[in-house]
Amino acid sequence: MTSPEIDLQFEALLNYLKRSRGFDFTGYKRSSLSRRVQKRMQAIDIDQYDEYLDYLQVRPEEFLPLFNTLLINVTTFFRDRPFWDFLSSEILPRIIAQKESNEPIRIWSAGCASGEEAYSLAMALADLLGVEQFQQRVKIYATDVDEEALYHARQATYQAGEVADVPPEFLATYFEPVEVSSKEDEVSRYTFRKDLRRAVIFGRHDLIQDAPISKVDLLVCRNTLMYFNAETQAKILMRFHFALRDGGYLFLGKAEMLLNNATMFTLVDLRCRVFAKIAQAMTRDRMVLINPNGGDAITTPLPNRVRLQEAAFDNSPLARIVVDLNGNLALASERARSLFNITPRHIGHPFQDIEISYRPVELRSCIEAVYRDQPVVSVRDVTWHQPNGESVHLDIQVAVLTDSAGDRLGASISFIDMTRYKRMQEELGHSNQAVEMAYEELQTTNEELETTNEELQSTNEELETTNEELQSTNEELETMNEELQSTNEELQTVNDELQRRSEDLNQTNYSLESILASLKSGVVVLDRDLRVQIWNHKTEDYWGVSAHETIGQHFLNLDIGLPVEQLRLCIRNCLQGISDPANEVTLPAVDRRGRSLQCQVSCTPLMGDEQDVQGVILLMEAQPK
């Protein structure tokens, strides 16, 4: 369990990043965010958040590696290919079919990282429209909060391994090879075509703070929402709803789902995580205000109690409307909208301009009456003729709405459907008993519907809770998977570097062995303990002892035709750094064939990186007597 003190230190660090660099991480999930920060802290050997905050204040250059650690830019071309196949075969053709032949198509790739997703969209649309139509009609806005990732995206150049998931026909059509490596003439890098790249516009955008792009036909935001907490996700989804055109599509990642946004988005395909915007969503789910200066959108999340009250009002079997004190239509239940053909554009308009205010009965005078002194005004036996020719018999009740302090808020108008009651009354000859039975039956049915609705609502809440828990677990696992993928890529890079260095070392060793083998003099290299490190081929030829028999052996203990004990003084002078003519000596010797030789031996110090003596080099030249 994390202590409150550590939590405060972590929040102080996040607030400092927001103030100093404009990166707002306060809406991210704390578990994955703290794990990424601790990874960076371990890399520089810091244990406490407050110490790391001091480190950032003193060393501004630390921000770049920190942001590279926090912003996990793991993406590929056509990531999760079955999802892209559905997008290309179903969603993009629908968008194109809804457009005129010259009408623009606007796409937003949010959280685009290094650009693979945006260019995947470009290839899919260019394949459907043709290159000429694509250049004329399509705009793809690719945004991310990471400037370094955007820089790489704008270059549009990728290694051969990074385009491995691009279909071969797309690679040949939409990419150009940059250079050819010397090994087997293989292309090492590819660049996305410049003439198509103009349709892809990259820019920095913070989903939490910046205003959304508007009038978008398709919004792609894959595996980005899962890094945010529930409140921040709801805020971003409101902005996405604002950004999309009516009927526009939202494409999420495989670890993401929309559980509590049925009024803003409807499901198109669950497996592929594709959703469609619901036009004119309810007022509580809209972005209620957009800063006229292009700044942040202001949203006010409502408590569940208020949402339940609104749902109960909207799902009421009675047709009901509400008029505010300014005389504007404020609310209309589903039954009222259906019965009187009230559309979302009527909400907020003057009530007097709407047909229901004066037909089938004058309601404005009833509203004025309840405002004056009457708590409730009832109008009975009103007939409403529907466009299909059917007649509906209504009882209308107008009541004033007040708050807990008794202040007036507006007027509520309820339309009680008495058609069934009226027909039964006519059939039974206006029998009072039949009227009472019908009324009781209507009331019982209404109560049963309310009871059933409450049971269904309770079951639905339990299912939503379970789904949210599963989604949270799934998102956490996906986050850890991407972190492991990022770490694996880092380890692969280190492994490649070590392999290159190993190859260089092998080449150096091979060159050294070739040089030593080609020398016409015998060469022996000793360490400070006088153990043999190098014994070249010429030395083997002189004394008849191979290298594998001498390497690691003490030189003065070797039994060869050279009196090695007489070299002790020469070797000791070299190890002590004493320059002396005695370091070159000529000794009588016997080679491996038993011939007598005069062997001239030179002792030279073997110097290390810091100019200290690491050993001795013995150079031997033998001549027959």
In-domain check, residue 38? yes
In-domain check, residue 336? yes
CATH code of 413's domain: 3.30.450.20
In-domain check, residue 473? no
Question: What are the Cα distances from residue 526, in Å, to 553, 582, 587?
Answer: 10, 18, 19
Enclosing domain of residue 229: 81-285
Query: Which residues are CB-contacts of 408 (< 8 A; sequence separation ≥ 6)?
Result: 325, 371, 400, 401, 402
In-domain check, residue 296? no
Are 240 and 118 in a shared domain? yes
Are 406 and 536 in a shared domain? no
DSSP structure class, residue 310: H
Rounded to the nearest 10°, the torsion over CA 555, 556, 559, 562 is 90
In-domain check, residue 91? yes
Are 253 and 340 in a shared domain? no
What's 533-554 look like in SS3? Answer: EEECHHHHHHHCCCHHHHCCCE
In-domain check, residue 506? no
Given 371, 400, 417, the domain boundary residue is 417
Are 277 and 410 in a shared domain? no
Segment 118-139, tens digit of pLDDT: 999 999 999 999 999 999 999 9
E strands, 93-137, are 105-110
Are 59 and 99 in a shared domain? no
Q: How far apart are the C-alpha atoms of 3 and 37, rounded to whole Å?
A: 17
- Residue written as token pair 């991210």: 28
pLDDT by 10-residue block (mean), the chain, 625 residues? 68 81 67 82 88 86 75 77 92 93 93 92 95 94 89 92 92 86 64 94 89 92 78 86 91 71 79 83 37 35 55 82 87 87 79 87 89 84 84 90 78 90 76 68 83 82 83 85 87 90 85 77 91 91 89 90 88 82 82 88 85 88 84
Q: Which two tokens stand for residue 59?
A: 């060393």
Are 23 and 109 in a shared domain? no
Are 85 and 214 in a shared domain? yes
Given 250, 285, 320, the domain boundary residue is 285
Segment (H or E) for 373: none
Are 202 and 350 in a shared domain? no
Segment 311-358, tens digit of pLDDT: 777 788 889 999 988 888 888 888 888 888 888 678 778 888 888 888
Are 252 and 399 in a shared domain? no
Given 42, 70, 98, the domain boundary residue is 70
Are 16 and 100 in a shared domain? no
Number of domains in the chain: 4
Segment 29-77, tens digit of pLDDT: 677 778 888 888 988 888 888 888 888 888 877 877 786 777 666 688 9
The confidence score (pLDDT) of residue 181 equals 52
DSSP 132-201: HHHHHHEEEEEEES-HHHHHHHHHTEEEGGGGTTS-HHHHHHHEEEEEE-SSTT-EEEEEE-HHHHTTEE
